[in-house]
Amino acid sequence: MTIRTRVAPSPTGLPHLGTAYVALFNRAFAHQQNGKFVLRMEDTDVGRSDSESDQAIQDALRWLGLDWDEGPDVGGPHGPYRCSERLSIYHELIAELVAIGGAFYCFCTKERLDSVRANQRQQGLVPKYDGHCISLSKQEIQTRIDKGTPHVIRLKVPIEGNCVFHDTLRGAIEIPWGQVDMQVLLKSDQFPTYHFAASVDDHLMEISHIFRGEEWLSSCPKHQLIYTYFGWQQPELIHLPLLRNPDHSKISKRKQSTSINYYRRCGYLPDALVNYLATMGFSMPDEREIFSFQEFQDAFTPSRVSTSGPVFDIAKLSWLNGQYIRNLSHSDFQKSLGEWAFGDGRADAILRLVQERTERFDDVFAQADYLLGERATLTAESFNHKKITSDECVRVLYFSQLLLEHLNQRDGELISEAFKKLAAQLDLKLRDCLFPVFVAISGRSVSLPLFDSMQILGLDVVNARLRSAIHVLGGVSKKMSKRLDTEWHQHATRLINTTKTE
């Protein structure tokens, strides 16, 4: 049997550390076994998927050296490798599944489902589909379809008994069918859900082993059911532990940077990041902690993967990165640093801002310090200001995060317009409103133009600096963030929409 593995990210948002983590294991295992490693883009969510993210994920994985044998760009015998290009396959198979009684049409409205689930929750039951449409007759179904009633197709799930499936690291796992929802497989927009697309594609692409995050454990029964209905053999499942925040919750961008690009921008070496990721949940037989991907691949075996969730510890990553940096030849060091600091048009962008503010060359580097490296360390006093209180600073910084995130734009003009409106909404002068942002981004209240700086730094770093600034000011409690989120939603429509039309 040929070993075939895959990683199947959804192209929504920035390239995630978790994607790299999972790709690492899949790639190492496949190549160790002379198999193939596949990249498949799971763009089943039309609203959230975008091609920019698709490209960014590919770039980030390539940067890490985690490239693939088959995928959307390189092709392969089992293509296409993007869900949105495989719709006819799903439609054909979902029809088959309905025909053999494994799935059924459902015409329920969102409102009805919401109230059903709310009721169930109130009674302490598992919120799930109540089977309302499961026994509609062929005629009833046809009539509604002909009328153009929006509908989905759901998985038929047994009511009683247990589902038993196998995980390589944990052995047999038993989940009562009563816990499993009649999952939507085909959405009303005719796109499959992840569950259906992934199951189908894994089979069609002859995937033999799936290394994926532990978060998928509870959806295994659904996938198993699909395989059973079709009479397919399920791939071997190896659920990896979830990367964690320092507080042990699942790693999330609210609490630390999860974007691969952030670590790239901060000057971590791809080999070091890959090495570090490989020590999360895996250890070498000889306990070595510094090793190449090739060495990892040679030594890898599922039995050396541990099941408890590792905290992603930036201090240790930095130490490891230091080992790699010092090991570089001096010429490689120069080359890599130069590329990091000035590559991709950065030198030009920075120098254009600097020149008009320069009297002597020795002014140059002091002005651009926060663009070339980490900004000065902040304290609460850094935010002392005549016109704006520290609480207001937190508010502004918090909203800035949301604004930039929702704007999802690098365009300086747009950012500038949005901030002007934000200041107006908060009833602050732009100059005062921007003060905490200047401090957060540059470490000073006076610096090179703010929005240009943001563009040069990139969203990942900007976000991290805003987050760290908020932290310095005492952070935002759960309660407070709830209040701010509510307030934000009141501003949001106006801020975002009007911004885009101008």
Partner RNA sequence: GUCCCCUUCGUCUAGUGGCCCAGGACACUGGGUUUUCAUCCCAGCAACAGGGGUUCGACUCCCCUAGGGGACGCCA
Question: Closer CB to RNA, residue 127 or residue 412?
Answer: 127
Q: How far is residue 140 from each of residues 113, 143, 145, 380, measured CA to CA in Å?
A: 20, 5, 9, 66
**Shortest gap between Cβ of 217 and RNA (angstroms)?**
5
What is the DSSP code (8-state) at residue 387?
S
What's the CA gap between 251 and 310, in Å, rounded?
Answer: 10
CA 226 to chain centre: 26
**10 Å Cβ neighbour count for 220?**
19
Task: Yes or no: say if 496 and 415 are a contact pair by the CB < 8 Å rule.
Answer: no
What's the CA gap between 103 and 133, in Å, rounded?
Answer: 11
- Strand bridging mode 152-155 / 103-106: antiparallel
**Shortest gap between Cβ of 209 and RNA (angstroms)?**
18
**Shortest gap between Cβ of 48 and RNA (angstroms)?**
6
Task: Yes or no: say if 251 and 310 are a contact pair by the CB < 8 Å rule.
Answer: no
Task: Yes or no: say if 3 and 247 are a contact pair by the CB < 8 Å rule.
Answer: no
Question: Closer CB to RNA, residue 106 or residue 371?
Answer: 106
- 253 given a catalytic annotation: yes
Question: Closer CB to RNA, residue 194 or residue 230?
Answer: 194
Q: What are the backbone angles phi and psi of residue 98, rounded to the nearest 5°?
A: -65, -45
**Shortest gap between Cβ of 16 and RNA (angstroms)?**
9
- Strand bridging mode 4-7 / 152-155: unpaired
Question: Closer CB to RNA, residue 231 or residue 285?
Answer: 285
- Per the listing, tokens 């054909």 go with 92
Question: Closer CB to RNA, residue 219 or residue 390?
Answer: 219
**List of E strands, 230-368:** 236-240
**Shortest gap between Cβ of 149 and RNA (angstroms)?**
9
Question: Closer CB to RNA, residue 232 or residue 324?
Answer: 324
Q: How far is residue 273 from each of residues 37, 276, 318, 343, measured CA to CA in Å?
A: 20, 5, 9, 20
Question: Closer CB to RNA, residue 50 or residue 289?
Answer: 289
Residue among 394, 396, 389, 390 at smallest CA distance from 425? 396
Q: Which of 253, 316, 386, 478 is catalytic?
A: 253
**List of E strands, 168-304:** 171-176, 184-186, 209-213, 236-240
**Shortest gap between Cβ of 327 and RNA (angstroms)?**
10
**Shortest gap between Cβ of 433 and RNA (angstroms)?**
32
Q: What positions carry a catalytic annotation?
A: 253
